[in-house]
Chains A and B, each alone.
Chain A
Amino acid sequence: MNQEPPETTTPGQERNPTMVSVKDVSKTYAGAGATEALRNVSIEVREGEFLVILGPSGAGKSTLMRCINRLVEPTSGSIIVDGREVTSRRRELRAVRRQVGMVFQQFNLVKRLSVLMNVLSGRLAYHTLWRSLIYSFNKEDKRIAIECLARVNMEHKTFQRADTLSGGEQQRVAIARALAQQPKVILADEPVASLDPKIARQVLTYLKQIAGELGITVLCNLHQVEYAREYAERVVGLSRGAVVFDGPSGKLTDDILQQIYYRDSEAGDDDDV
């Protein structure tokens, strides 16, 4: 199902092949409200691209990300990551997930474990179960983990417990954990929503550096326009589960923002789904 990438809107990325391709993905959450979180979303993301998905809370940004690594099962549509179709079959899914790192709003570190152990847990998918049973990692894993920590300047906290770190530090460790997977794609779901502006910019800078230096494709959910303008090369605007804009951040006009944010004022207060 690998088709040639269509005409790109991002200058300077023409030669890179498509890394993530989302085709006609819809997701309806079953239950009382039966909310339609995603409606026929299609996005193509190229290798090494730093893409910001912009939208208010409840626009379906988190759902879109979770569909890409199948933490959420889409109702319809297909997703291809690095030429491989994402399925829910366990073995293949694990292989895809290994290539896709994820960074969360709430960091999601295991608080009682050391920073190193948290980063090392990003290596688990490379391991057999037997090795994990005794909580053992080989030297190569440790070297990778510490390198990843050094990349976000956190190697000096390697042996501390994760709950002794500040929010920004925890998020950097979480980025290191995603990097330790040696992924091709990193999904960052509102990575700075729980951080204050100064720390938020720091974290976004690290994420952008990763995309640039390591050639990792980064998809980053944001709800703040100013960060999107500052950091994004390309922005996808999501509103009520549908793509309403796809283009370079320079083209984010007030009209378009109006469309993303104020088309439906009720959606603004909902929690992200």
Chain B
Amino acid sequence: MAETAAVTGKSTAAKLGRKEEGAMLGVSKTSRYIAHAILILGVLIVAFPIYYTFVASTHSLQTILRPPLPLWPGDQFFANYYQAIFGGVRQTGGVGADLLLFNTTVMALGIAVGKIAISLLSAYAIVFFRFPGRMIFFWLIFITLMLPVEVRILPTYKVMVDLGLINTYAGLIIPLIASATATLLFRTFFLTIPGELVEAARVDGAGPWRFFKDILLPLSKTNLAALFVIMFIYGWTQYLWPLLITTSNDMNTIVIALRRMISFADAETQWHIVMVTAILAMLPPVAVVVFMQRWFVKGLVETEK
């Protein structure tokens, strides 16, 4: 039994380029079929809402308002997407999805790059230099883990108003780029770099900048990619912060705009456009997760330690 499974398993394993050990002892063929069935059911539960959103985004409002909605995509794909991207809807104050996507992209990229940059520098300072107050600074950064926006919501808002950061990209990005997790991750990684490497670099006359640029950055490449994926998603899916910081429609992120398009229990909601906007809002982060899966999984498992 184990052999047949190993033989059938081998070709796929080779194709996928992964090392498979073959079937585990004591797992019968029947229970593997059951396992497949349960997994397919799981995939259905997980993927169906997303698929159904897509289906809804290709039907006309009239079709959507007359439940049940068909299981297959309709013929309004181009009309709906055109209207959502270039038309703008009353509820979002005439702002098209193109601007919303642009805002969200700026925010997500700004947060991802910003978090990585300042955390990289902080961890570099803490690991490769000795100076008074080093550990105090480390703890000051670490403790911010315990101060999410929710626990300091009003005073933070007041700071934003005082600094004139409401409705600005800077306001959306800068307060979110402090990162205890990223600093911790880089610190842990830097501590694994052997001292000999630093010594050799110094003997060869490399200063801190040279060492950072030519040795440390190339070594951190995988960590950078992994962290980028996680932080990009973090930035893209922000809700409370843009809700507080943006009051004008043309500064909205796509998630917030989507919320403003829905009115409860009310036939006014342009559900077909809402569904298109939802798909557009999901697409970039889902694509990042699926196509950068390897770094995503690595980043996820490591940042949360």
Partners in one complex: no
Q: Which residues of B contact A (CB under 8 A)?
A: none
